[in-house]
Amino acid sequence: MAKSISIDRTKRLAEEPNKGHNRWHPDIPPALEVEPLEEVVLETRDSSDGQIRPGVTAADLLRMDSKVVHPLTGPVYVKGAHPGDLLEIEYLKITPERHGWTRFVPGLGFLCDLFAAPYLVHWNLENDWATSPSLPGVRIPSSAFMGTAGLAPSHDQLREWTRREGELSDRGGLVFLPDASSAVPADEPIASHGLRTIPPRENGGNGDIKQITQGSRLFIPVNVDGALYSVGDAHFAQGDSECCGTAIETGGTVVVRFRIHPGEALRHGIRWPRFAHPGFFTAPEWAAPRDFIATMGMPIREDGANDGGNITLAARNAVIHMIDLLEERGWTREQAYIICSVAVDLKISNVVDVPNVVVSAVLPEAIFEA
């Protein structure tokens, strides 16, 4: 029988602190110990820690605790894993829950300056499709993956990453610095020093990479004995960019298997995660849609000035142009932004044709029911 961590989905993470955490810290005790090659079943909460349930409204979003994201299940101690090893995590099965949601709120998201009011879409997740009364005629196919998965950092990494993010904050960058409020575990010094889970880092974390679906393999350098793997933030589906700030968020159950590659990270100087998939990460007609429409973005500011080579500006313009296109078809700007976040893939078309590098936003037409 597979080892597992089960959770009570009627409870918040703070009510089951022995099952998970919402900060990265090397001293968080493991919730489970496993041998390499054992199958392990992990139940996870949605990224809001259960705050967004059926019946919740957009107005409710402004009253929610934003410091509880992302509730992770774990850590899992993998016997025999040591610093310098490379841990391979194989995703054997990913099963989403039946309810999902997508939202944007003021101050967050790729186009947060253009959307000042909160907006929320609830999804019904049935028969491998997501549908919503808020987006009549739209069907999003299942391509479930875990948005956040990583290993514990070492104490040295904790100090270094805290320093560099603090410096970025001092330069005016948007950074979520360590904060003991709503931290799980609440024990010190973990609560005050633990890193927030919002950004991904060298230990993995919140990469929101939609290609890491069932059947994929994630490779992360081991930083501490036992590796201490944790996972959460299940997504039913997502567009490449998750531009509004969320995908189709849901709880999930994931079955994983671990392999240790001894000394591999140290031997080859591997500092960053890698991932692979032996087959199609999703159905081929969705991975490379045969019927699509796309908009192009280039690094041209609204005042007409050329900001040569600015990939971020090119991506922003591609999304804005796709929102414009969807508005032409009768969707509101808010609906269009949601559709972009859950179904539109941003692709870097070129980075060499300076000054006008190109990012394309690709929308599969099959999400719209005939």
- What predicted TM-score, i.e. pTM, was given to this entire model? 0.97
Q: What tens digit of pLDDT does each residue of 64-98 get?
A: 999 999 999 999 999 999 999 999 999 999 999 99
Q: Does residue 273 have a pLDDT over 80? A: yes
The residues, any chain, with a CB within 8 Å of residue 267's CB and separated by 6 or more, are 84
Tell me the average pLDDT across 142-166: 98
| Residue 145 identity (one-letter amino acid) | F
The two three-digit tokens of residue 92, written as one number: 């054997």
pLDDT, residue 1, reads 80
- Asked if pLDDT for residue 294 goes beyond 80, the answer is yes
**CA dist 67 → 178, 183, 322, 334 (Å):** 10, 7, 31, 25
Q: What is the pLDDT of residues 178-210, one digit of tens each?
A: 999 999 999 999 999 999 999 999 999 999 999
Tens digit of each residue's pLDDT (9 = 90 or more) over 111-135: 999 999 999 999 999 999 999 999 9
- Structure tokens of 185? 């575990």
Q: Residue 38 — pLDDT band, cuts 50, 70, 90? A: very high
Which of helix, strand or coil describes residue 297? strand
Q: Angle between the 333-343 and 311-328 helix axes, to the nearest 10 degrees?
A: 120
Q: What is the pLDDT of residues 335-357, one digit of tens each?
A: 999 999 999 999 999 999 999 99
| 17: its two tokens | 């602190």
DSSP characters over 143-163: --EEEEEEEPPPHHHHHHHHH
Residue 303: both structure tokens together: 């005042």
Q: Which residues of 317-329 are buried (b: 16+ CB within 10 A; e: fewer)?
A: bbbbbbbebbeee
CA distances from 142 to 131, 254, 364 (A): 11, 15, 14
**For a pLDDT cut of 70, what percent of the chain falls above it?**
100
Residue 11 in this model has a pLDDT that exceeds 90: yes
Per-residue confidence (pLDDT) for residue 162, from 0 to 100 = 98
CA 139 to chain centre: 21
345-350 sheet: strands from edge to edge: 292-297, 358-364, 345-350
Amino acid at 349: S
- Answer yes or no: is pLDDT of 145 > 80: yes
Residue 153 is classified by DSSP as P
Average pLDDT, the chain: 97
